Amino acid sequence: MSLVERLEKYCLTVATSGREDPMVALMRDDFGSYSHQVEVDSLGNVMAHFPASSPSEHTVMVFAHTDQLGMVVTKIEDDGFIRVVRLGGLPERVLPGSVVSIQASQGDAVAGVMGTPPHHLTPEAMKYQVPTIDKAYIDVGAQSQADVLQLGIRVGDHVAYEPRFQHLTNNRVTATSLDDRGGCAVLMELAAHLKSNPAPVNVVLVASVQEEFNLRGAMMAAEVLKPTAAISLDLVAAGDTPEMGTPNGVRVGEGPVMGLYSFHGRGTLNGVIPHPGLVAHAEESARAAGLALQRHATVGILTDASYVQLVNGGIPVIDLSWPTRYTHTGVELCSLDDLEGLAQLITQIVSDFPAALER
Ligand SMILES: [Zn+2]
């Protein structure tokens, strides 16, 4: 199966944070084609082991998260409208008028739409306002609370963008959940390579949980695996759309991206300043593979690598990415060329991994 076929399969699978089971099943099965040792921990982290070509005391963990952001049902109104809160960094700006899928705990997935006032009747002042999530509601066509309950929907059920995957020009795609199904698809490319080409170090590929919720699923895997180094595969926001004015210089179609600095000050006070040895090795690997490697330093971005680096007395980490536009909306957009480039890069990095990381 090609990278794009896998990507489409993963993007069309709904798996919100804490409800990753459909992706856990896919990743466990797909890893199973390439690894003899695949384990799933109690929270759903899927770990596929690839022993070194000759015995090594070093283990590199490469990880991507399986979960996606969404919403959680908080209340079912008497008239059948469904109230929600955000699960992860869902932008309220894009919600009105969008199509969603409610993962009913007592039934099948239910289609719905995010309500918005009829254009003709919207007061002038309201036309340019972004409604906050407490004003948002989902309409599944129900006329009463009983209608909604009949569909199997309960308080606490999860909601996701209606999954979609569409090809655009220039080998680009737009889809729901490129974050981080792109990383999952690249992980599987690496698994296929490692099956017949073991690396000089042990490699464990981890499809991790709950990144969009609390950024700490991969941390739990790292505590158990005790890797010598850990590499995160997740998207980076591209800065190349008209309103952005390239604040971070990252452009779609110009290759994979290495994170040199991320920081998130809104409550978390965390980020990643990558280990210099990993930066040097990533650059050397890009050269060896003949790949362009973009660099980013961005405030406002955070991945679970920021927590992985803090366990077991400290783990050298680095963020590797591909540029994506319109992040966290239902129309995330990226270039398949960049994803292919990232797959080549991580393959090269792992295949030549040094016995000791120098600072
Ligand atoms: Zn992500």
CA of 238 from ligand 1 middle (Å) equals: 13
Residue that has been written with the tokens 């008028």 in this structure:
97
**Could you read off the pLDDT of 205-215 as tens digits, one per residue?**
999 999 999 99
Give me the pLDDT at residue 125, please.
86
CA of 231 from ligand 1 middle (Å) equals: 14
- Closest by CA position to 322, among listed 303, 298, 338, 300: 338
Mean pLDDT of 348-353: 96
The domain boundary, picked from 106, 132, 161, lies at 161
User: Quick one: which H or E segment has residue 205?
Assistant: strand 202-208
Q: What is the CATH number of the domain that holds 256?
A: 3.40.630.10
Do 132 and 190 fall within a single domain? Answer: no
φ and ψ at residue 125, rounded to 5 degrees:
-65, -30
**Could you read off the pLDDT of 269-297 as tens digits, one per residue?**
899 999 999 999 999 999 999 999 999 99
335 vs 313: CA distance, rounded Å:
37
Determine, yes or no, domain membership for 96.
yes
- Closest by CA position to 183, among listed 330, 86, 52, 46: 46
CA of 39 from ligand 1 middle (Å) equals: 22
Determine, yes or no, domain membership for 168.
no
CB 26 within 8 A of CB 8: no
The domain boundary, picked from 111, 129, 161, lies at 161
Going by DSSP bridges, is the β-strand pair 323-325/236-237 parallel, antiparallel, or unpaired?
parallel
- Closest by CA position to 333, among listed 146, 164, 209: 164
Average pLDDT, the chain: 95
Q: What is the CATH number of the domain that holds 141?
A: 2.40.30.40
**Could you read off the pLDDT of 56-97 as tens digits, one per residue?**
999 999 999 999 999 999 999 999 999 999 999 999 999 999
Number of domains in the chain: 2
- Dihedral sign, Cα of residue 26, residue 28, residue 32, residue 35: positive
Do 127 and 234 fall within a single domain? Answer: no
Give me the pLDDT at residue 189, please.
98
Do 136 and 190 fall within a single domain? Answer: no
DSSP conformational letter for 354: -
**Could you read off the pLDDT of 144-170 as tens digits, one per residue?**
999 999 999 999 999 999 999 999 999
CA of 126 from ligand 1 middle (Å) equals: 32
Do 249 and 339 fall within a single domain? Answer: yes
Determine, yes or no, domain membership for 166.
no
Mean pLDDT of 22-29: 98
DSSP conformational letter for 68: B
> Which range of residues forms the domain containing residue 278?
3-68+176-351
CA of 208 from ligand 1 middle (Å) equals: 11
- pLDDT reading at 126 higher than 90: no
Size (the chain), residues: 359
Global pTM?
0.95
CA of 142 from ligand 1 middle (Å) equals: 33
Give percent above pLDDT 70 in the chain. 99
Do 19 and 90 fall within a single domain? Answer: no
CA of 43 from ligand 1 middle (Å) equals: 18
Do 64 and 76 fall within a single domain? Answer: no
Do 263 and 302 fall within a single domain? Answer: yes
Comparing 53-57, 69-73, 174-178, 355-359, which segment has the lowest mean pLDDT?
Answer: 355-359
Determine, yes or no, domain membership for 356.
no
Do 29 and 148 fall within a single domain? Answer: no
The domain boundary, picked from 161, 187, 220, lies at 161
Determine, yes or no, domain membership for 358.
no
CA dihedral 71, 176, 64, 237 (to 10 degrees): -100
Give percent above pLDDT 90 in the chain. 88
Do 188 and 132 fall within a single domain? Answer: no
User: Residue 106 CA to chain centroid, in angstroms?
Assistant: 27
Do 262 and 334 fall within a single domain? Answer: yes
SS3 sequence of 88-120: CCCCHHHCCCCEEEEECCCCCCEEEEECCCCHH
CB 330 within 8 A of CB 161: yes
Do 271 and 195 fall within a single domain? Answer: yes
SS3 sequence of 14-47: CCECCCCHHHHHHHHHHHHCCCCEEEECCCCCEE
Determine, yes or no, domain membership for 7.
yes
- For the annotated catalytic residues, the residue numbers are 211
Mean pLDDT of 303-311: 94
- pLDDT reading at 242 higher than 90: no
Give me the pLDDT at residue 67, please.
98
- Ion ligand 1: residue ranges with CB closer than 5 A: 179-180, 234
CA of 235 from ligand 1 middle (Å) equals: 6
Do 37 and 102 fall within a single domain? Answer: no
Going by DSSP bridges, is the β-strand pair 138-139/70-76 parallel, antiparallel, or unpaired?
unpaired
- pLDDT reading at 268 higher than 80: no
Please list the helix, strand and coil fractions of the chain in percent, rounded to the nearest 5, in that order: 30, 25, 45
Give me the pLDDT at residue 321, please.
98
More confident call, 242 vs 271: 271
Determine, yes or no, domain membership for 357.
no
Determine, yes or no, domain membership for 257.
yes
CA of 24 from ligand 1 middle (Å) equals: 16
CA of 352 from ligand 1 middle (Å) equals: 26
